[in-house]
Amino acid sequence: MANCPAPRGELTAALAEALARDPGARLPDDAVAGRADPYGDDLQLALYLCYELHYRGLDGVDDTWEWDPGLLRLRHALERAFRSALRADVPPGDDVDSALGDLVTEPLDGHGVTHFLRDEGQLWQLREYAAHRSLYQLKEADPHAWMIPRLTGVAKAALATVEYEEFGAGRAERVHATLFAALMRDLYLDDTYGHYLDAAPAPTLATVNLMSLLGLHRAARGALVGHFAVVESTSPPASRRMVEALERLGGGAAAVHFYAEHVEADAVHEQLVRHEVVGGLLREEPRLAADVVFGIAATLLLEERLGDHLLGAWRAGRSSLRVPLR
């Protein structure tokens, strides 16, 4: 269960005040949501809090808020603003093969976050990166599990295979979220679920909100498959760079193990996702091709925005978090 963070604007202030009361309390109206920057802290935190009620809940918030009609109306307004911004910023397309091919093509002059951490990053930056990623990694496979009842045949079987391994293949100590918690302890970070929510800026929240948005809507199943393809296809090379960064900076055995596990496992997963999850879905529902491409492009857009935020802060010598780590 996550703690409610401090408000970041009129939207989250009003939402926090309502959630502290019984379900049915007065909520912000659509006009407040409409004034908020769709990529900004206020809207992204409000959306994150709405979604968290579908995961482990919020400390001090009545669980029955999860399906409160008023809260669902507010969430719909927030989602509409976020989705509209993504649609405006993502070019349309339906060439799934091309989009998948681009995911596994490593540029010779890569300059992303994991390249930076491998080549010149410092330990404090590595720790910040783990704090950012904890909001996703401690719930890693959960939103993708919402796809299972929405797929059939080959796509369902392949997705369940990947998810089974993400959830530890029947061994609790091997659940990937548990392995990431061990990584956090190796880096002297707090591994409590949601601990760094207050410190996470909007670009971090947006990457997590996207998968929750796609996971909670059956109509977005094609886009969620696209998101899943990005996660599994880009993981092996990025994880290899993180292994090298952690070994160079003395990150600890458990920290190295988390990413080493992903180098091998996700290389196999990438083939399953590409040929059986994506391929199986499109053989059953070819009309979802454009949705798959949108899911890929939207995921890459938000990851790029987060990367720009991290590298911009680090190269300026300042923390990338709203609340710097000790």
Q: pLDDT of 281-314, one tens digit each?
A: 999 999 999 999 999 999 999 999 999 999 999 9
Closest CA relative to residue 243, chosen from 261, 225, 229, 231: 261
Question: What pLDDT is attached to residue 266?
Answer: 61
Predicted confidence band of residue 231 (pLDDT cuts 50, 70, 90): very high
Judge whether residue 51 has pLDDT over 80: yes
- With a cut of 90, say whether residue 125 has pLDDT above it: yes
Amino acid 180: pLDDT = 96
Q: At residue 117, does pLDDT exceed 90?
A: yes
**257-274: b (≥16 Cβ within 10 Å) or e:** bbbbbbbebbbebbebbb
Would you say residue 152 has pLDDT above 80? Answer: yes
Do 163 and 144 contact (CB within 8 A), yes or no? yes
Is the pLDDT confidence value at 264 over 80? no
What SS3 class is residue 291?
helix
CA gap 21, 35 in Å, rounded: 25
Residue 29: pLDDT band by 50, 70, 90 thresholds?
confident
| Token pair recorded at residue 11 | 């939207």
Is the pLDDT assigned to residue 186 strictly greater than 80? Answer: yes
Question: How many CB atoms within 10 Å of residue 154?
Answer: 16
